[in-house]
Structure 1
Amino acid sequence: MTLSPALARILAAGRPPFNARVAAARRARPGFDGAALAQAIRERLDPVVAAVAAIAPDAAPAVADAGFDMILGLAGHGIAGERGALVDRVWQTLAVAHASSVAERPFAVLAMLTNAALTIAATPGARVDEWIDRMSAMAPQVTAETLRAAGQVVAWRSGMAHYRDGAIVAADGLPDAVAAAAIGSPAGWAEIRAALVDDPWWTPAGEPTTGITFGGFTGFGGPFAEPPSVRPGPHGFLVRSGLRTGLLVVDAWGATLHPADPAEFDDAATSAPVHVEGASIAVGDRTVRTELPPDGLAAVASPTSVAIFSRYSHLIRIVPWRIR
């Protein structure tokens, strides 16, 4: 395999210990794929080591050492196929963009970037491509010290709605310009924080949000085996479909579903009065007409949103709605 001069020198100088680690991996894991390891070294590790060597040559051996161990570990967890291609992209683009942070904290930074991308990609509705693109663009503003917090904020912005509260706290600890860039705001973090805390549907872009449709039948890759029932909860909407209960967390940037105790659904408080007439939903002083068939239509309200669902549909429509 053709490698950059930097990685080729490091591997040659440390051949015995590197070979010993590979031998240990072969013994520990039947079916160990040496060809896949060689490909990962070439396609993942080499771009990172070359990028670090260009800006911090003395750090390149430590990066090669940490990256080599991580590649062996990923191979042991069966990271291949689409997940393997995602890891390739993270190392080839995102880790290269953050080469200065990788040079400072090789294992921690590579692990954080890799695990974050895999987690986001595994979350239905979250947008890992958006996360990678925004994190890459922010690289000149981010240090090894601020990378994790920035990544959390960008992950929220990329559809990880359940990160919302933690991301706001994380943004408070970032430099104002970095926090604003992570959110995608031309204004400073201090100027937009209160609005984000007050309204989960508010965005710095100022564009009106029409809501989010979430769900789908399990037979087609969705989360619901049966049309779901919905009740308001303290942190979102509680959802029951068949024998499964979940917490649906929603805001302007995404919706995520998480396991919940069935008792939470049973004990959920009654929502604000919702009036369903035909295909129209009325709460407080507002009315909206839905596109769902009137028969079987139902809705529940939280202080900021209304969830519209039907006994004939595996989808839930969540719309912004301030109860006045």
Structure 2
Amino acid sequence: MIDNSFPGRFPATRLRRLRGQSWIRDLAAEAELAPRHLIQAVILREDDALAGPIPAMEGIKRASVNDAVEMAQNAWKNGIKALALFPHTGKEARDPEGTAALDPDNLMCRAARAIKEAVPQIGLIGDVALDPYTDHGHDGLLRDGEIVNDGTVAVLTEQAVVLASAGYDVLAPSDMMDGRIGAIRKKLDHEGFTDRMILSYAVKYASKFYGPYRDAIGSRGVLQGDKRTYQMDPRNSAEGNREVTLDLAEGADMVMVKPGMPYLDMIARTKAAFNVPVAAFQVSGEYAMLRCAAAEGAFDFEDAALEALICFRRAGTDMIISYYATDAAGWLNQKSRFP
């Protein structure tokens, strides 16, 4: 007969003792969530007609350059250390080669210069990919119905230099072309940008959770086909380790898992295997689900939104890109603790 009074068993051991009051829950907490862990995602716009809400993303609007400056100032005041910028591009500015990506006076570049002038201490992360600029909506060059790898990489290296010249501290290739990290690192170093970091979207899945984002950047109805020939298959996990291994060997300073919450296993696996800075992107579909559920009365948005972020931290992320990062920082600052 088992003696349940033996140490390590009930009733001698009662795990609820460590949950009974808020002070002991805080002292015993395994994961911390603070503003410094968050990165504010910003969707930029040119046209005042685009100032309204983004479909399926209640509370999120595209930002003009002036708006982006204000967002940067507010983010910094709330303890946010970096912004991740993405451009909306109208159909008239898109072409098969994505040439607007190489314009040193494009929306991304003008926004970076304005933000750095106003808030020089904040970090800027620039998206390196062609999907906001191509008329077919793909992250690479389309040739005879196929996304070509090496030709795309040649353009991405030039785009990375354009963004670095505009003031971006971190170049974040999100395209998933093979070999692009090494090529970008070599080009940046050759051009004198040896101090610029690379955040590789190393584990990026071909996901349905990106839907609202495609509205946000003007790709809805533009994309021809899908991105499964270059983004990862959601059925795979070991493949993600191979991607991270290659990207780190080519010179990536940090790696990304995207989407976030549906792939918490990949966050944990990546952190455990490589112990390098790991970022997660809480993508537009994740945000939309939280908002829609809250609107239906399923839960309080603020509490659920913070719980979602602490899940990323528990899984092993060092930094989280989120559309409500600044709001979350404000909530955390007011509460002084996780709820």
Instruction: Work out whether the TM-score is over 0.5.
Output: no
Identify which of structures 1 and 2 has the higher relative contact order when contacts are C-alpha pairs closer than 8 Å and 6+ apart: 2
TM-score scaled by length of structure 1: 0.20
With normalisation by structure 2, the TM-score equals 0.20
